[in-house]
Amino acid sequence: MRKKIAAANWKMNCTYQQGEQLLTEILSSNIALNDHQEAVFAVPFPYLTMAAEKTGGRKGYAIAAQNCYNKKSGAYTGEVSAEMLKSINIPYCLVGHSERREYFQESNQMLAEKIDLLLANGIIPIFCCGEPLEIREAGTQNSFVAKQLEESLFHLSPEAVAGIVIAYEPIWAIGTGKTASAAQAQEIHAYLRSVLAGKYGQAIADTIPVLYGGSVKGSNAQELFSCPDVDGGLVGGASLNAEEFSTIIKSLP
């Protein structure tokens, strides 16, 4: 069975103390996860070790970085490399969140480089893709997201691509309260899987978790996660509320 993942994306929110409190509250509900379920917390860099210590030893709980740089090492003041994340045992890293693409001009090519560095360091990339509103309104979302996959992932070997996670996040649904309907999510997730199958074969496409992101909350998680090609969610706003995110974790199939 494919992995089912509830991933929290804290973005640039919470002080250290607030983050610690939030994790304490979520972990205090002792939600047991089975072998194919995972709760992942993408926290700001300065909180990675704190979050890893707090979740350490809990089956199914893991930490993600929100970004890394697309160079190995060197004179890049202020940046964080995949190797640095590996050196503190971080298992996941978000790549290509739409906010990074928009505010930091991250191109598909740059994201391909980040993915290579992460995989070389044994870190699982959570590759984000998704279309803006004008593309959805024009009805060309499929070719838009297919191009994102092609340009950032299709250089990978079948073995490498089998080790990544994809998060489909329509930009028009991020932080807007406007969620894609379960039918819309299922349709494009199935399409993304068919694109992966076209390049790598159905067996590999079937192993890759595809998460949905964009205004996931406690009240809609179960419906979204019950779609056959939706393997959990990447959650922003609702992940900052312990009760909401706990409900989302519990909604994993």
Q: Find the shortest distance in angstroms from Cβ 173 to ligand PGA.
A: 6
Where is 118: in which H helix or E strand? helix 108-120
* Greatest CA separation for the chain: 47
Residue 57 to residue 33: CA distance in whole angstroms = 12
Q: Could you say which of 3, 6, 8, 9 contacts ligand PGA (CB under 6 A)? A: 9
Stretch of residues binding ligand PGA (CB under 6 A), selected from 31-39, 50-58, 110-118, 231-239: 231-239
Residue 33 DSSP one-character state: -
| Sole window of 184-192, 198-206, 229-237, 241-249 interacting with ligand PGA (rule: CB under 6 A) | 229-237
Q: Are β-strands 92-95 and 165-168 bridged in parallel, bridged antiparallel, or unpaired? A: unpaired
- By beta-carbon proximity to ligand PGA, the closer residue of 44 and 86 is 44
Nearer to ligand PGA by Cβ, of 86 and 164: the residue is 164
Structure-block tokens of residue 47: 């909180």
How many angstroms separate the CA atoms of 66 and 126, rounded? Answer: 9
Count of beta carbons in the 10 Å neighbourhood of residue 202? 12
The C-alpha angle with vertex 15 and arms to 70 and 96, in degrees rounded to 5, equals 25
Burial of 109 (0-12, 13-18, 19+ CB in 10 A): exposed
Kindly state whether residue 236 participates in binding ligand PGA, applying the rule CB under 6 A: yes
When asked if residue 148 is in the footprint of ligand PGA (CB under 6 A), the reply is: no
Question: Which residue among 119, 216, 221, 227 contacts ligand PGA (CB under 6 A)?
Answer: 216
Distance CA 159, CA 150 (A): 16
Q: Which of 44, 213, 218, 232 binds ligand PGA (CB under 6 A)?
A: 213
Of positions 180, 221, 227, 235, contacts ligand PGA by CB under 6 A: 235
DSSP state of 218: T
Rule CB under 6 A: is residue 209 a binding residue for ligand PGA?
no
| Nearer residue to ligand PGA within complex by CB, 65 or 200 | 65
In terms of CB distance, is 168 or 200 closer to ligand PGA?
168
- Verify binding: residue 104, ligand PGA, rule CB under 6 A: no
Catalytic residue positions, numbered = 97, 169
SS3 content of the chain, % helix, strand, coil (to 5): 45, 15, 40
- 234 interacts with ligand PGA by CB under 6 A: yes
Note whether 165 and 125 are within 8 A (CB). Answer: yes
Distance, in Å, from the CA atom of 205 to the CA atom of 36, rounded to the nearest integer, reads 17
User: How many residues bind to ligand PGA according to rule CB under 6 A?
Assistant: 13
User: Residue 5 or 235: which CB sits closer to ligand PGA?
Assistant: 235
Give the x/- contact pattern for ligand PGA in 152-191, rule: CB under 6 A: -----------------x----xx----------------
Interface residues toward ligand PGA, by CB under 6 A: 9, 169, 174-175, 213-216, 234-238
